[in-house]
Amino acid sequence: MNRPIQSALLSVSDKQGLIEFARGLAALGVRLISTGGTHRALREAGLPVVEVAAHTGFPEMLDGRVKTLHPKIHGGLLGRRDDPAHVAAMREHGIDPIDLVVVNLYPFEATVARAGVSRDEAIEQIDIGGPSMLRSAAKNHRDVAVVVDPARYGEVLEELQLSGGRLAETTRRALALEAFETTARYDAAIARWLFEQERGGEQAERFPRGFSLAGRREMLLRYGENPHQHAAVYQAGTRAGSLVGARVLNGKALSYNNYVDLDAALALACEFDAPFACVIKHNNPCGAAIGRDLAQALELAWAGDPVSAFGSVLALTRTVDRAAAEFLASEQRFVEAIVAPDFAPEAFELLTTKPKWGKNVRLLAVGAVGPAAPARARLELKAISGGFLLQDPDLEETPAGELQTVTHSAPSAAEVEALRFAEKVAKHVKSNAIVLAQGLAVVGVGAGQMSRVDSVRLALDKAGERRRGAVLASDAFFPFPDGPELAIRAGVRALLQPGGSVKDREVIALCDSLGAAMVFTGRRHFRH
């Protein structure tokens, strides 16, 4: 049974498009019922509107906490129009049907994303009446339409105008699904925030007993990791400083692989406060460096592996200035995407007017990048068959006081600085990571190998002659002396690793026999 919509309840925090939509409903003869600020906005626009308190005969109370939690509201939403018993009960109790609910919720996520928001402020932004109305209307969607997104107003109004005030069942189903998706996401965001408030306390659990993903689809992607796969990107949690919330200033639509690589790049860049640049290819860093300024950092990072750098993505910790843009815009260089705090106007113009770059290069302004950036991961999630895994992100840096020189030779102060830099980079290299550095610049990376000695070979090969005098950081212990021996005989002067192998004594003896320094950290940074 598809009856025309005769009454609508409107209660929105986001007033975008509200007046135009309500005016269209009124023109169709729909009776408007509303609450609080929404009622005031409609009345000031000259629209005929009944306040909820007048509709229910019960005043708003408890500072607005109780407005729509009333049988005349929920009875009007939940009553089935094709059930004689429901119709009789509604008539007996003076409950009028409500055919359309237009509700969007208190901005809880935006509130808790603000710096310095108090717990009391956050709690007051937990909407109760709104989700209740959405759930009631969505449950009874055969009889009640529900609109939760202002972006839907235009198409809903057009269908009503073309169909004599009616909405098709397919439309009602789609709108109901959106409503339940919204309430699920809203509740998950609240639960997650409450958990984060308690996390770290003496009585708190490290991981919640229940964990719900709360995401909103931002866009469909052209395809996934491969052309035959479908994909979409979702926004979850704070937008501030995040990849999903970044301002895309230029370029083609981002692909699935762009997002994966940019996320890896941004995670590495957030390790550093200094002017820093990293070059990511296939989800691994092939170059990374700290410089006196961004242009120098870029030059050093690119030199880490210039062949692999072509067609890469970059993450930078400073606003891109003209000098940095001039380095990138040479004919020998091209990248798929750059994420940075921002782009100076002259840098933006340069990057977007070069023939090879132009409209192709994707430029993303993400705001602050560094250890204190709001987008640093709080939890890492991986889907597996039947569920998912959660873990803390690997954010800890080995304290200087925990570094242990285990060889007769000790690294110099400059070598220690380079080792600690290489260790941070190694945290972001996948599987059996070996990172070679000269000063504060990566010169060779070994990644993704099934044996650590092969990663050493690969890193040495990438470094070429730059391996002489370099330092080496390994994400996990050396199971045999073969890797260190290869590195030292190739010119590496100091090595850093967590230690903990049954072969540690043999590895240390090898280093001593060849006059190299080795430092143990006691902390593994393996990334599978």
Rounded distance, CA 263 to CA 219, Å?
17
Contacts of 106 (CB under 8 A, 6+ apart): 13, 125, 126, 127, 130
Residue pair 479/503 in contact (Cβ under 8 Å)? The answer is: yes
Tally of helices (H runs) and strands (E runs) in the chain: 19, 21
Spot the catalytic one: 252, 282, 354, 430: 282
Catalytic residue among 139, 252, 430, 503: 139
Residue 277, phi-psi category: left (phi > 0), alpha (psi -120 to 50), beta (remainder):
beta
Known active-site residue 139: yes
The residue among 77, 37, 70 whose CA lies nearest residue 55 is 70
- Phi-psi label, residue 47: left if phi above 0, alpha if psi -120 to 50, beta otherwise: beta
* Buried b or exposed e, range 234-263, using 16+ CB within 10 angstroms: ebbbbbbbbbbbbeebbbeebbbbbbebbb
Q: What angle in degrees, to the nearest 10, is found between the helix axes of 169-198 and 129-139?
A: 150
420 contact partners, CB below 8 Å, separation of at least 6: 397, 398, 400, 496
Q: Assign 242 to helix, strand or coil.
A: coil
What whole-number distance in Å separates Cα of residue 43 and Cα of residue 441? Answer: 64
Residues 442, 462: Cα–Cα separation, whole Å: 10
Q: Where are the alpha helices (DSSP H) in 62-125?
A: 71-78, 84-92, 108-113, 119-124
Residue 269 makes CB contacts below 8 A (sequence gap 6+) with 276, 277, 278, 315, 316, 317, 339, 369, 370
Tokens representing 444 are 């060779």
Q: From CA 63, how far away is CA 175, in angstroms rounded? A: 30
Residue 399 vs residues 436, 441, 523: alpha-carbon distances, Å: 21, 21, 10
Phi then psi for 446, rounded to 5 degrees? Answer: -115, 120
Active site residue 525: no
Q: Active-site residue numbers? A: 139, 282
